[in-house]
Structure 1
């Protein structure tokens, strides 16, 4: 069975991108969710901590998150990780502030990441599992604001970006059954209209719609969608959360470096509302001097 798992980072901030990630996994088991706890425990024993990104990343300490994300990406794609995040749109934003790159790593860190890559693949194999692919999408403020005008809410924006990534993963299934796990989008409980637009030729059965979970079956395709409150408690969703968080932190590093290059001693921001207002005031004069429009760097919602 295939698992496609999605999660985001940066849903709430005013500065920086919304990053959404989908990961694809293949399991020998027909009920792979039953082995997630044991799989997570064995990975942790071997130095591969996969958890909600909030539990792995702490401000000022990118290393633990970075090691796991780069190790996992290396396990299925041996190219430079910059190539992955370039495809995720992290390097091609229309504004001149947001270009970024994976930091240069010393030889010791590279060895750590290679070990994580090896252990990740080995532990998955022991549990009859394989990591197949990952794809991310970054929506920077200028595009975010444009999409807000198209959709009726920020939650709908997130849902459409998420389904777009899932659509890119569907060719991997080749007719195999699939379970699609998503962290809930902005507290939304009803997804049938969105799924009907996403799969217009399919009959979609509503299994349940509640605050805890919303579940839908697409019988012709042998697919089940589950939108879960606190979905990042599940291993595949947690990894998607971590990749998204790492991508967003790369972008915020570059964003802060840009402004600090123009304003010495400027306190950096994580981009979330209260501190974002402080940062907005701190950069206002320089922003006007540089001719940077607010709509290109500040998200309306």
Structure 2
């Protein structure tokens, strides 16, 4: 019998500029006492003629901005996801985003700097010439006996949406938790598996998630297995389905969480490129920003005249928490 395994992570929790991206990966795995062992081979990586080495790991270690930002390592994994998800290759950023979330481009288009998402996908790797062959190659490694990659999905919140949801939630840790559970719910509901394991990185150091899970599963019995600084774990009995949700500090050491981290990081980096390009077109000579608090202040000051000219409200551009 198979278990549905879902893993989540985010990118952009700390910055004041740019979107928060929450990503999830879904897998079907054989029931086992040690699910991590099934993913050892993916963590070690493998070579594909069309992409080079495919690695799954901590996105912060696989991507280093430096003077010349290179997305090659992350992009190889994103192309692998796309190869399984779509019979045709995505050619631009908009098509990549629609693979993750059908509504993403519509939400992003509310912010004028994200209205044009026609930038190429991929950018640091050449587009594979034989997509059918690539799909077969990736499936050989990610869809084997005992391990089946199913999907990657994401929730993308630009500043205006982030601020509105944060006001409703009360703080950004609660917002992150609520949006993470909302992203995972469809993956739980669409599977026939009665055993479901969910792995998430901890949200802002939060230790208690029982009330949150009970809110999203009002008809289920939610039992606390452990709550602490390093790990919080819950058992959710929903009819015949048993859902165990693990919130773990440094959870991205586990390959499925690491891949979710890579999806979130890559997607945010690409969107920050679009964000920066838009404002550099308004303010020639403007240095790009990653959006973190210190540099965000510099960036907002330097685009001040352009912001005023466009009659933008601060909450449309800057995340307030």
Scaled by the length of structure 2, what TM-score is found? 0.87
| Secondary structure of 2:105 counterpart | coil
Q: 1:74 aligns with which of 83, 86, 95?
A: 83
Deviations 1:150-205 (A, max 9, x none): 01210000011101111111123214311100111111000000000010111111
| Secondary structure of 2:54 counterpart | coil
What is the aligned partner in structure 2 of residue 238 from structure 1? Answer: 258
Residues 27, 129 of structure 1: 8 Å contact kept = yes
| Secondary structure of 2:127 counterpart | helix
Q: 1:39 aligns with which of 38, 41, 51?
A: 41
**Change over 3 Å in CA distance of 1:176–1:112 after alignment to 2:** farther
| Secondary structure of 2:10 counterpart | strand
Find the aligned partners of 2:294 and 2:179 in 1 and give their Cα distance: 26
- Indicate yes or no: 2:28 matched with 1:14: no
| Deviation of the 1:108 alpha carbon | 6.8
Find the aligned partners of 2:275 and 2:38 in 1 and give their Cα distance: 36
What is the aligned partner in structure 1 of residue 196 from structure 2? Answer: 178
**Change over 3 Å in CA distance of 1:97–1:125 after alignment to 2:** closer
| Secondary structure of 1:16 counterpart | coil
Q: 1:269 aligns with which of 289, 301, 306?
A: 289
| Deviation of the 1:106 alpha carbon | 8.0
Find the aligned partners of 2:130 and 2:268 in 1 and give their Cα distance: 20
Structure 2 alignment gaps of length 5 or more = none
What is the aligned partner in structure 2 of residue 83 from structure 1? Answer: 95
How many pairs does the alignment contain?
Answer: 301
| Deviation of the 1:90 alpha carbon | 4.2
Find the aligned partners of 2:244 and 2:129 in 1 and give their Cα distance: 37
What is the aligned partner in structure 1 of residue 217 from structure 2? Answer: 199
What is the aligned partner in structure 1 of residue 155 from structure 2? Answer: 137
Farther off after superposition, 204-213 or 110-119 = 110-119
What is the aligned partner in structure 2 of residue 109 from structure 1? Answer: 126
Residues 5, 240 of structure 1: 8 Å contact kept = yes
| Deviation of the 1:222 alpha carbon | 1.4
Farther off after superposition, 98-107 or 118-127 = 98-107
Structure 1 alignment gaps of length 5 or more = none
Name the structure with the higher helix share.
1
Q: 1:123 aligns with which of 116, 141, 145?
A: 141
Deviations 1:80-115 (A, max 9, x none): 443341336542221111232452558971239957
Find the aligned partners of 2:130 and 2:8 in 1 and give their Cα distance: 23
- Indicate yes or no: 2:29 matched with 1:27: yes
What is the aligned partner in structure 1 of residue 60 from structure 2? Answer: 54
Residues 201, 248 of structure 2: 8 Å contact kept = yes
Deviations 1:120-174 (A, max 9, x none): 4212344621111121110110011111110121000001110111111112321
Scaled by the length of structure 1, what TM-score is found? 0.92
Residues 40, 235 of structure 1: 8 Å contact kept = yes
Residues 199, 251 of structure 2: 8 Å contact kept = yes
Name the structure with the higher strand share.
2
| Deviation of the 1:237 alpha carbon | 0.4
| Secondary structure of 2:207 counterpart | coil
**Change over 3 Å in CA distance of 1:283–1:36 after alignment to 2:** farther
